[in-house]
Amino acid sequence: MAKKRREQEETKAELNMSSMMDACFLLIIFFVVNASQITVAKDPCVKMPNAVTCSEMKDANGCVVVNVFPDAEKMDARTASKFGEMYRPGVVWSVSDGAKTIGYSAEQTQDLTDFITKQVEMWKAKNLDPAQIRLYVRGDKDAPWERSATAIRCAAAAGLSNIVFGTLPAKG
Amino acid sequence: MARRKQRAVEEEGDPEMNMSSMMDACFLLLIYFIVATSLVSEKRLSVSLPGSSSGSGTPPPLEPGRIKVEASGAIYWNGEMPMGGAMNPTLDPRTPEYREERELRELVEALKNLAEAAKAADTNPIVMVEGAAATPHQRIVDVMAALSEAGINTVGLNTAAQE
């Protein structure tokens, strides 16, 4: 009887999970810290350009993000269908105020300027150093320069002179 | 009888927590952050528009450098000096040829010379970039990367009149 019980106890193997949990938490903390470096709004319809020399984005505070789109025929089929679901035809810029995403057509430069002005005022109200407020141009690699330049002109009209171009590091 | 009672007390005094659900949650979080971190790999190229920092209307002591970018992607420095050819849109971004197209070594050298001349004249180097309206954004970013490599961050951006 006693022998049988001993056999049952021996077959009940247990694994000590505590060290694994420690390692797991350390990894989570590492990735949380890394992931919180940039929290700018990203538009999946923008294919980012590559740059050989670019630096890390340390802080997303003060960034007024403007996405710049190419013509629909320059997009691949998947991106074009996603773009069609998200925006009306003719949209060349998109912005996000945190709650919703707004698309602007090439004629709506005044609306874009007004939006950037509001964002600048919002960051200033948060007591952010004006030098830290910047326009973050997330231009598609195939977008015509005219659109990015117009967005920069709108930002300049709103009092923004610091421009940041979003890029990805070049491979190869 | 007494021994059985003692064993029961020992078993009650050794509580065990079921860690399996916590481990599940932990792994889910871990996978989420691994994926999120690999997606967040955007970098930046910063520039300042000229005339924004100093309000004086005096002209700069050094003539600004001028970069002209055509719609094809061809780049010219100070007029007609070619610094980069037309872009090849069929290049695979993973190939060394693509990276070579992104690196504008001659332009970086010219910009470094301008930066040194500006340093000697104790002033900030200014560069005006004039891109054709239809130039792909990628080519302007190539120029910005060259400016960044040369340490120039005061850049005037303009769009060329339609040809």
Would you say how long chain B is, in residues? 163
State whether residue A47 sits within 8 Å of chain B by CB: no
| Chain B residues near residue A172 by CB distance under 8 angstroms | 93-100
Residue B83's domain comprises: 65-159
| CB-CB under 8 Å, B148 with A49 | no
For residue B26, is it within any domain?
A: no
Q: Does any domain span residue B25?
A: no
Within a domain: B55 = no
B125 and B63 in contact (C-beta within 8 Å)?
no
Facing residue for A141 by CB, picked from B23, B138, B148: B138
Residue bearing the bigger pLDDT, A38 or A115: A115
- Does residue B72 belong to any structural domain of this protein? yes
Residue B53, amino acid: S
Q: Which residue of B has its CA nearest to A142?
A: B136
- B7 domain residue, yes or no: no
ipTM of this model?
0.77
CB–CB contacts below 8 A, A to B? 177
- Per the domain annotation, does B37 fall within a domain? no
Q: Pick the residue of B42, B48, B70 with the most A CBs within 10 A to test the interface with A by mutation.
A: B42
Q: What is the pLDDT of residues A45-59, one digit of tens each?
A: 899 898 888 777 767
Total domains present in chain B: 1
Q: Do A145 and B30 touch (CB under 8 A)?
A: no
Contact between B26 and A24 using a beta-carbon 8 Å cutoff: yes
**Which pTM does this prediction carry?**
0.75
- Are B98 and A172 inside 8 Å of each other by CB? yes
In percent, the amount of chain A with pLDDT more than 90 equals 34
Exposure of A135 by Cβ count < 10 A (0-12 exposed, 13-18 middle, 19+ buried)?
Answer: buried
- Say if the Cβ atoms of B137 and A156 lie within 8 Å: no
Question: E strands along chain A, which residues?
Answer: 50-51, 55-56, 63-68, 91-96, 101-105, 134-139, 162-169
Name all contacts of B13-17 with Cβ < 8 Å and 24+ positions apart: none
Structure tokens, B152: 């120039």
pLDDT class of A140 with cuts at 50, 70, 90:
very high
**pLDDT number for residue B10:** 56
**Strand pairing category for A134-139 and A162-169:** parallel
Whether chain B has a CB inside 8 Å of the CB on A22: the answer is no
| Whether the Cβ atoms of residue A79 and residue A149 lie closer than 8 Å to each other | no
Cβ–Cβ gap B95/A172 under 8 Å: yes
Flag whether pLDDT at B131 surpasses 50. Answer: yes
The answer as to whether B114 is a domain residue is: yes
Computed over every residue of chain B, the mean pLDDT equals 79
Q: Out of B44, B135, B157, name the one closest to residue A164 (CB).
A: B44
Asked whether residue B98 is assigned to any structural domain, the reply reads yes
A22-50 tens-digit pLDDT: 888 888 888 777 665 555 567 888 998 98
